[in-house]
A and B are shown apart, each in its own frame.
Chain A
């Protein structure tokens, strides 16, 4: 299996994981009025109290980090695929890959650190 095929297979697999994780995230955040899932302090799923309650739970912290990593990979690899279809010069292709990789890593580090820090601040126990 070539690297391209391998990364594309990972891209599809990440899509399936996202379907479940992001699907749950959307249901919790945007269908709270109907389903009232994981929002014990009131009907507004995105209120500060509900956000902090979820941050205090280690399962949510781990899920946020996983969701971020999988989402960034799927999204940025998808963007790379679109850009590379434009038949760029090899040097530009390398620059695009490097830029997207660095962007993904930087945001993953920021988001993971924030998720863990928010968990600690919310009084969660690992």
Chain B
């Protein structure tokens, strides 16, 4: 097995946190990671908190600690993070598997870019995420009752 050459990561966290002059897809990627980390943090806490129901402790119901407005707002942020992460994730999987980037062609001037294929996909998944979020917001604001 060939030895792996290790290179120094000069920029560290800022290497992926800063999108620089790259397109909006790069910023969507950064937000994908941030929302992922947020959802993971919530999942770790959610697992412990919901496990307490075995001891008949329901902290998220009326009168419970997590029923306070600040935590309700936090939960809505998790829904928003999920909406973005899930629909942007569809785009990332499609791109990773080679779909939505166009076929490889000779680089002949004027050059063609895969952004022409990726950008409409990004817009489409963001519209879906927004629709999901709007339905969530409708419920969060109590308009559905």
Contacts and interface: CB of A to CB of B under 8 A. Distances in A.
A19 to B, nearest CB: 5
Interface residues of A, number: 39
A19 B61 contact: no
B7 interface: yes
Interface stretch (B20-28, B49-57, B107-115, B116-124): B49-57
B74 to A, nearest CB: 13
Contacts of A18: 86
Interface residues of B, number: 44
Contact of A19 (B13, B53, B89): B89
A34 B135 contact: yes
A72 B52 CA distance: 19
A114 B46 CA distance: 12
Given A31-B135, A34-B138, A15 B47 contact: no
B144 to A, nearest CB: 3
B79 interface: yes
Interface string A77-112: 011001001110000000000000001000100110
Contacts of B43: 71-72, 75
B142 interface: yes
Interface of B: 6-9, 12-13, 15-16, 33, 36-37, 39-40, 43-44, 47-48, 50-54, 58, 60-62, 75-76, 79, 82, 86, 89-90, 93, 96, 135-136, 138-140, 142-145
Interface of A: 12, 15-16, 18-19, 22-23, 26, 30-34, 43, 46-48, 51, 55, 68, 71-72, 75-76, 78-79, 82, 85-87, 103, 107, 110-111, 113-114, 117-118, 121
